[in-house]
Amino acid sequence: MTKTFRLFGRGRRSVFAVTVLAAAVALVGCSGRAGKSVAPSVPTTYGRVDLARLLHADREPGQWFAGGRDNSGGYYSPLSQINDRNVSGLGFAWAYQTHTSRGLEMTPVVVDGVMYASGNWGAVYALNAVTGAPIWTFDPQKQGGGGGSGQAARYACCDVVNRGVAVRDGKVFVASLDGRLFALDARTGKPVWRVDTIVDHSLPYTVSGAPQLTRDLVVIGNAGADIGVGGVRGYVSAYDLATGRMRWRFYTVPKPGEAQQTPEMSAAAKTWDPKRDPRFQGGGTVWDGMAYDADLNLVYLGVGNSSPYNGHDRSPSGGDNLYLSSIVAVNAKTGRLAWHYQTTPGDNWDYGATQKMILADLPIGGRVRKVIMQAPKNGYFYVLDRETGKPISIQPYTYLNWSKGLDRNFRPIFSGDADYSKGPKLIYPFWGGGHDWQPMSYDPRTKLVYIPVLESPMIMIDLKRNRAAVDHIDGLFGTSILVPDKDYRPDDWRPLFGKLPKGPAVNKGTGKETVRAVLKAWDPIARKTIWSRQSSADYTLFDGGVMSTAGNLVFQGQADGKLQVYAADTGRLLKTIETGSGIMAAPCAYMVDGVQYVAVMAGYGGAMVGSPFPPNSAAAKYQNTGRILVFKLDGAAETPKPPLRRLQPFQKPPLQAASPEQIAEGAKLYASNCGRCHHFGVAVAPDLRRFGDGTDDPATFRRVVLDGLMAKGGMGAFRDTLTSGDVDAIRAYVVDEARKAYRDQGERAKAAS
């Protein structure tokens, strides 16, 4: 049973010269004319960003001040030196090695010629944005407190990723995977202050999201709603920018079995079963998307999915379960609720609303409306009034069947296809959503939103009510979720889950392949797709985020290692750069000394940490080497590739005397505890059939799984959920699978000769 467990400058300058140059740069930076220099090639300032500079980012088009460039979060650059007429000349400028092999998901911030980027565990790299020369690096694992602990990695639903830094007042703000928030000196990388943001380390909290800045606060959320027996209870915390003192904390779901302390929690409690099981924390983590309107002084929180997914277990008497899967606006001064809009009431499908949000002014109904836009997982595109939260328009941006439409109150009407309590159901979109965390981009010129869309169904299974052989899967609680790709065969899964639906040969909504990634240009005013382009990758889901520019360009990296450039107005493919690295992050654009650059972080992983690389793709051909790649006009024609991936042949597996019953039990335990990360094949996490580092020895295997012998590499201890007998059964199953792989390898070699 070797199937995929897819469950989810140069020289010195005088002080006088530097001062004159800095003054000249400041003057040019305020010109507001795209194509002008905004920073010297030798940095003279570090992190010199205040709120006024951020809010007037268009006066300095060459800067990339925040994850989405400016306070709108639109991932749009006003630069046009690189444009649809000359982008064919775009070439390689430089690369920086992060010395990692996991997913990289952040978009670099570039201020005054310095690039600030974050990577695995919450590491930070400050680089010369022209040459890539390192200025400083920061490693949270060397700061004490367990920033690189294997337990934090185990609790990370979707790899040891980090989605970005924030820069303000000479400081760089970043969160480590284990939940510490750091304020670093932007010149040296030394911590100015740090604070532990986690309220209970006995629960599987982690932090992978980027901090959100307000006028005087840094706001950070967390993750963990998918892990453990009952997940975690979501919240965000706000800290003073200068000192790190906590100013307020906003919880997203009421605490079970306790009197609620605030009006918003009292209101939420009425939407939950008052007798719900206190083991289930509720979820609702804010693990990624946030936004801030300085005029309204509102922080917008994208709230995630439930813990557990199945509402019959989470809240047996039903209810909307506020504020799960909602957009929530919080007063930045007081930390109190301003308004909320729930995108998926009573969420049972992992349809969180944590996707990044964009602030824009749109001409709608004969007047300009101040809106907030989001394309969350559930497949609907939302345009809301950002002062009141009232819906302006809601329209599907991809095929969906969990909802039949909306009622007069803009509430989704559930369909029969959505209810998997009475048997497994084929549901659109899948758990990754029509759109996951990868940033979309809004171009104010074309007035189009460019969305990295995932078009795929899922098969959801209620394990208890389906009487499945597996009753719990780490990261999925009492459900199982299968993605019926082109290799899906229902009978392969019958021993674990019983009778399952057939997978459709084509996507019912598109007539295309069942599983595909597609870039869509969406008109939020006309509420329709203007153009779309399917990924060039052979079988992929998670391509990269998107950036658009005033050069009539849209940039997107792909899982197969291609950096694609399209015409923003028509979608015509203008340029392809082969990088050799799977790309998940969104690019950025910046200018130094009159030269425009495009940068993107390359390194595959994230939610696909346990899934196979696309066959014949760059990610399978080359080592998954983390890099920052930078391009410019008239750069080198070839982008350097990572080293080739050289897989050693399967070795003769160790002998064992396990019974068929023990091997079958090991298969169930593997599916419950290991398959989330460890796919049998070429993936980010190791293929356990390829025994190494002494794990062919039963005692060493137990120490790795139970005691965390390889914690530094991200393999946490499982003593809290597994026994020695369980581990022996898992090992028996892995050895049996290794024996089959070794046999098949020999048969292929014999046939080839």
Q: Which residues are catalytic?
A: 350
CA distances from 241 to 54, 137, 211, 230, 247 (A): 15, 21, 11, 33, 10
| Helix (H), strand (E), coil (C) string for 140-202 | HHHCCCCCCCHHHHHHCCCCCCCCCCEEECCEEEEECCCCEEEEEECCCCCEEEEEECCCCCC
> β-strands 298-302, 326-331: how paired?
antiparallel
DSSP per-residue letters across 109-123: EEETTEEEEE-GGG-
d(CA 711, CA 148): 8
Residue 278: which residues within 8 A CB-CB, separation 6 or more? 256, 257
β-strand partners of 137: 125
Residue 30: which residues within 8 A CB-CB, separation 6 or more? 59, 60
d(CA 253, CA 282): 6
DSSP per-residue letters across 702-751: HHHHHH-TTGGGT----TTT--HHHHHHHHHHHHHHHHHHHHHHHHHHHH
d(CA 9, CA 21): 13
The position carrying tokens 């899948």 is 430
CA distances from 465 to 276, 390, 421, 423, 500 (A): 18, 38, 7, 8, 13
Under 8 Å between Cβ of 629 and 600: yes
Tokens of residue 131, six digits = 């040459």
DSSP SS3 for 372: strand
DSSP SS3 for 327: strand
Cα 378–379–381 angle (5° rounding)? 110
Tokens of residue 455, six digits = 């078009």
Residue 540: which residues within 8 A CB-CB, separation 6 or more? 516, 517, 558, 559, 560, 614, 617
Closest CA to 557 of 72, 107, 64, 78: 107
Under 8 Å between Cβ of 418 and 459: no
Q: Phi and psi dihedrals of 573, rounded to 5?
A: -75, 120
> β-strands 76-77, 546-549: how paired?
parallel
Omega into 308 within 30° of 0, i.e. cis? yes
User: What is the maximum alpha-carbon separation in the chain?
Assistant: 80
β-strand partners of 89: none
d(CA 144, CA 701): 28
**Chain centroid offset of residue 603 CA:** 13
| Helix (H), strand (E), coil (C) string for 620-640 | HHECCCCEEEEEEECCECCCC
β-strand partners of 547: 555
Q: Phi and psi dihedrals of 531, rounded to 5?
A: -155, 160
In this structure, the chain runs to a length of 753
- Strands (E) across 221-289 are located at 235-240, 246-251, 282-283
d(CA 669, CA 485): 23
The position carrying tokens 């392949």 is 513
Rg of the chain over Cα atoms, rounded to whole angstroms, equals: 25
